[in-house]
A and B are shown apart, each in its own frame.
Chain A
Amino acid sequence: MEEVKLIIDGNNITVPGGSTVLEAARSAGIRIPTLCCHERLEPIGSCKMCFVQINGCAEPQQACKTRVQDTMQVTTDSEQLFSMRRESLRELLLRHPLDCPVCDKAGECLLQDLAYEFGVTDVHQHVNATFETFYPTSLIRYWPERCIVCKRCVTACAEIKQLGAIDIKGEGPTAQVYPAKPERCESCGECLQVCPTGALTENLSRYKTRPWLSKRVMTTCTYCGCGCQMQLNVMNNRVVGMTVPNVFGVNKGSLCVKGRFGYEFINSPERLKKPLIRKNGTLQETTWEEALGLVASQFSRIKKEYGRDSIAGISSARCTNEENYLFQKFMRAVIGTNNVDHCARL
């Protein structure tokens, strides 16, 4: 692809033809505030935050939708641009309550950050429309009064998933997200992932945490072979949520319903907590010492009585590489048999 040279805030920049002004600015480390645009989605252009001045254009243009041209000269910051952006932000906040103290998203909310940056303190929500809160999946809660109708969610569902389960209905201050084709929803949470505010929240965990209170541990999904990367949110030794950075792994921020919402089993009260051995026909709680002692002595006895190959081990496609390695080493080196397999055939 041919290259295009342009000047942004006095810097000479070269980018591939077809790039947007926003992409060009970012490639040079110049920040233009944005709200609706998202690295995994095509430009949306709903938030009106990214205005820039371009030499030869009378009106400021949206950086996310304007393609670069050779010799273009762009200004990203000026008094006029600042007040335009501030005005756009005020518009958005007109329909957004400042309920940050009770919102799950507070602390990692793009809208909150921008309101802080632009010093918008004097907006009082005055949209009093009645909204519908229906959402196509019970795993996500929609808070229409917090929704700024940026369309990220709708775009993600349509572009990444090709599903179009949700759409926008209504105009201006009464616009809202609604389940356009609820039967198509896969509960993937792609919409939740891209929402910049607290308008979509996970509707699962009874235990909630604020972003600054929980620890986040990067790990790999335990379900299918895609191997998605994810962060477990931990509070008080309990997994209470899931976040997904947009840059890691094959999934780049996506997950499916199992990966995103399937963590409840970790805290299940049905988890086994003590070793059990069968006594008089029933399984009864015991100590590790007794349980391991019994296993070791039975294995030793059976090996002696019937030979090494009378014992077999089934390892697991759910366990780690290290555990599978140890298991087969145990069967081969300690028991002395190659009778080791796992259920991958299934």
Chain B
Amino acid sequence: MAGLAAAFGSGAMTNPIRDVLSAKSILLTGTNTTENHPIFANYVKEAIVKNGCKLIVVDPRKIDIVELAHIWLRPRPGNDVAWINGLLHVIIRENLHDEDYIQNRTTGFDELRACVEKYTPEYVSGITGIPPEDIVEAAVTYGGSKPSSILYAMGITQHTNGTNNVKSLANIAMLCGNVGVVGGGVNPLRGQNNVQGACDLGALPNVYTGYQQVANEDVRSKFAAAWGVDHLSSTPGLTVTEMFGGAERGTVHAIYVMGENPMVSDPDINHIRECIEALEFFVVQDIFMTETARLADVVLPVACFAEKDGTFTNSERKVQRIRKAVDPPGEAREDRFVIAGIARLMGFPLEYPDTRSIMQEIARVTPSYAGITYERIERDGITWPCTSEEHPGSPILHVGTFTRGKGVFTAIEYKDPAEVTDDEYPYILTTGRVLQHYHTGSMTRRGTGLNRLYPELLAELNPDDAGRLGIGDGEMITLSSRRGTITVKAKLTERSGPGVVFVPFHFSEAAINVLTNSALDPTSKIPEYKVCSIKVEKASM
């Protein structure tokens, strides 16, 4: 979450989930909360219905939570910087910004003010299609009902300008003094259960645990000493997308995958397959024979969450236990034994008596996890930063001062998405999840229960568009982009705005990521899943 880290010094959710109950208004954007984070949605609903909190929803799709919204803005996909600049413009014009907070806690305000000068409601309306008066109302609601909490998810980040989108949201939160306060904050909702933990524990190319930079010499020598090695590399490594690029160019010869399925989840999967095929050696460690595992030279069977001990860190930075309930099937082993087994054969001991001792080592080398022990989280988790065994944890970040010192406003001009519609590809495709399934579907599609509720892939299409194309509900259609074609069943629904088609990505047999664009955000390297141009046709029988 590079955008938040640049603005505040930390990329994590600033406030706990429950905190929305203290908010006077909520700005929810790029998150279909009721489907993707249903428990968070319960709190949002409680805040609105019981506490009279005002809800502003900004989403190109008419998602379910819109029915509780006081204001719903429907921009076209990929227009986020424009509408946010519009809100900033109105808040400043109406004098709803928090002068003291801006003065004492932030930098860069003057540049921001100059930049958003031209983003009048009328100008923004021209780009986004949102009526000017709605932009004013949303701005006045956000600026006038404090504290206000911002919730967002991949609808904001999965764009070529995703980092800018996030910085824009940080701008608006700081402008009104909403960061570091109860009921406020900028809160990215994590899609997968342990995204936060994977980042915290150093599964990133440029940092060790707790975001300690690999380029920093002191940090490097600390880790070298802790791990008993003479040398650690100081060059930041490759991101997932760059790894596959390296495979194609012949600079990466082997890839080791633990528990991921990029053959369904990554953009432009035909290309990914070619990259994998170019490798000399490809190892996949998983619980199922996924589409990715099928391409491997070695497949290693492992335990699932119910078959091992450990911890997950949730979206709100809370470290919580998981516990072994059953044995893994057949000869499957816990991932830690597999990693240690390979390491031993390569002459390096990585064995630990139990997961508790791994956490003890993590605490020793990671300041933000220093006070976290299994004993302390036996009943209830602890929220990092937790710097000592006496430290109670830190549910709210940036209280009094930002992690990086002063909060940074960034002046950002609106840019069109990487791929815009044209005569040949006139529709916008946007992808996401549905309630009943999870990620690449390898878990949720293997039981009877959830599949019974949502058995097949449906492409959501606006009824007016369908009418024009002569497509009926339930008919098969083909969707084509510059990269590929898939055939799916159409579902006609007002949830999709005119000109927009939504398709979930859980279904490997009709993997939507055949169509999506692998153009990346230059900073976060997140692919542009949310917007690509397609054409829609009735399938020929």
- A contacts, CB < 8 Å to B: 137-139, 160-162, 186-188, 204, 215, 217-229, 232, 234, 237-239, 248-251, 254-258, 261-266, 268, 270-278, 283, 288, 291-300, 302, 305-306, 308-334, 336-346
Contacts and interface: CB of A to CB of B under 8 A. Distances in A.
A98 B421 CA distance: 65
B327 to A, nearest CB: 6
A249 B382 CA distance: 11
Contacts of A298: 254, 280-281, 297
A336 B233 contact: yes
Interface in B203-234: 203-206, 208-209, 214, 223, 227, 229, 231-233
A189 B190 CA distance: 23
Contact of A314 (B260, B294, B448): B260
B42 interface: yes
A319 B326 contact: no
Interface stretch (B112-120, B142-150, B310-318): B310-318
Contacts of A315: 198, 203, 258-260
B189 A225 contact: yes
B198 A265 contact: no
25 contacts: A215-B325, A258-B438, A262-B449, A262-B450, A265-B288, A265-B442, A273-B332, A295-B283, A310-B251, A312-B237, A316-B194, A317-B193, A319-B198, A321-B197, A321-B319, A322-B355, A322-B362, A325-B361, A326-B339, A339-B205, A341-B240, A342-B240, A343-B260, A345-B525, A346-B526
Nearest to A221: B193
A272 B436 contact: no
Contacts of B18: 250
Contacts of A234: 325-326
Given A187-B436, A312-B255, A257 B450 contact: yes
Most B-side CB within 10 Å, residue of A257, A306, A308, A339: A339
B468 interface: no
A346 B268 CA distance: 13
B192 interface: yes
B281 A302 contact: yes
3 nearest A-B pairs in the assembled complex, by CB-CB distance: A273-B330, A264-B447, A227-B314
Given A187-B453, A225-B193, A328 B38 contact: no
A272 B289 contact: yes
A266 B260 contact: no
Contacts, number: 460
B538 interface: no
Given A219-B322, A332-B233, A337-B233, A327 B298 contact: no
A342 B350 contact: no
Given A257-B453, A271-B332, A338-B205, A319 B259 contact: yes
A237 B326 contact: yes
B244 to A, nearest CB: 9
A266 B334 CA distance: 14
Contact of A226 (B39, B197, B308): B39
Contacts of A186: 34, 38, 435
B205 A340 contact: yes
B243 interface: yes
B527 A273 contact: no
Nearest to B197: A321
Interface string B429-448: 00000011111001110111
Interface stretch (B92-100, B129-137, B341-349, B385-393): B341-349
Given A222-B306, A308-B233, A315-B260, 14 more contacts: A204-B449, A226-B17, A249-B380, A250-B39, A250-B318, A256-B435, A257-B453, A268-B446, A272-B286, A313-B257, A324-B202, A329-B350, A330-B343, A344-B199
Given A220-B312, A227-B314, A257-B436, A292 B341 contact: yes
Interface string B407-420: 00000000000000
Given A316-B260, A337-B233, A258 B450 contact: yes
Contact of B257 (A308, A314, A328, A334): A314
Contacts of A323: 258, 310, 334-336, 339
Contact of A250 (B17, B260, B294, B525): B17
A300 B296 contact: no
B495 interface: no
A319 B453 contact: no
